[in-house]
Amino acid sequence: MNSSPSAALPTPPQTSPLSSNTGATLLAAVGGYVDTLGFVALFGLFTAHVTGNFVLIGAELARPGHGVLLKLLAFPAFILAVAASRIIALCCERHGYNAVRTLLSLQALLLLAFMLAGLYGHPIRGSEHPMAIAAGLLGATAMGLQNGMGRLLLSKLTPHTVMTGNVTQLVLDLTDCLLGSGTPELRSRIQKMLWPIVAFGAGAILGALAFVHFGWLALVPAWLTVTFLAWRGIAA
C-alpha cells in the first residue's frame, strides 16, 4: 500500500517563543553584562546606558584622563542603531519576516564582531586606539539595536537596558504593599519587574568578573544568550 510522501514525513517540531518575563530577564542580564564589560574593558565606556557617557565626558573635560573621543563617537553610533531598528522593523513587517528574531540575530552578529575586535586589538592600551574605537562602536551599535527593539517591538516587557525607572517603580510598589494597598495587579507587576532587575545586577557583576578572568572571550555568554533568543523568539 502506497502512502503519500507528505504523510510519511514527520512534522518538524515547532519552537514556541519564550514568555515575555523570561525574555525580559535574559535581555536584562545581557544589558547589565555587556554594559559593565564594556565599561571595564574600554576605559569607562557605557555601551547600553549610553547617556551615562555624558557624565563621563563632563568628568574627562574637568579632569583629563583617558580622553573623550570614544565616548563622543559611541553616542551617534547608538543613535544610528536605534534608527536602524525602526527601518529594519518596518522592512520585516512589509516582507513578512519576524522583526524580533531579525534584530536579535543582527545584535548577535554585532556582539560577535565586538568580541573579535577586542581580541584582535588586545592588549588595548588607550581609548583612542583604533581597535578600542572599533570595539566600542560595535558594542554601542549592538546595544542600540536592543534598546530600539525594546521600545518598538517588546514594549510590554519590563525595560531591560536601563534600570533606574524599574527600581523606582519597584520601590513604590513595594511601599504600597507594605502600607496595605497591595492589589493582585500590583503584586503581578512587582514579580514582573523584580527578576529583570536582579538579572541586570547579576549580569553587571558577572560581566566585570568575567572580563578580568577571561578577557574579551567573556563576551561569549552574552553572544550565546542573544543567539538563543533569536532562535526561540520572544512573545511580545
In DSSP notation, 189-217 reads HHHHHHHHHHHHHHHHHHHHHHHHHHGGG
Residue partners of 133: CB distance under 8 A and separation at least 6: 69, 70, 73, 127
**CA 138 to chain CA centroid, nearest Å:** 13
CATH of the domain at 167: 1.20.1250
Judge whether 123 lies within some domain: yes
Judge whether 9 lies within some domain: no
Domain containing 111 equals: 17-230
pLDDT of 66 reads 59
Judge whether 218 lies within some domain: yes
Q: Residue 205 corresponds to which amino acid? A: I
Cell of 188: 503581578
Low-confidence ranges of the chain (pLDDT < 70): 1-14, 65-67
Cell of 152: 518598538
The count of domains in the chain is 1
pLDDT of 137 reads 97
Q: What are the tens digits of pLDDT across the range 186-204?
A: 888 888 899 999 999 999 9
Look up the pTM and report it.
0.90
Contact 18, 232 (CB under 8 A): yes
Judge whether 121 lies within some domain: yes
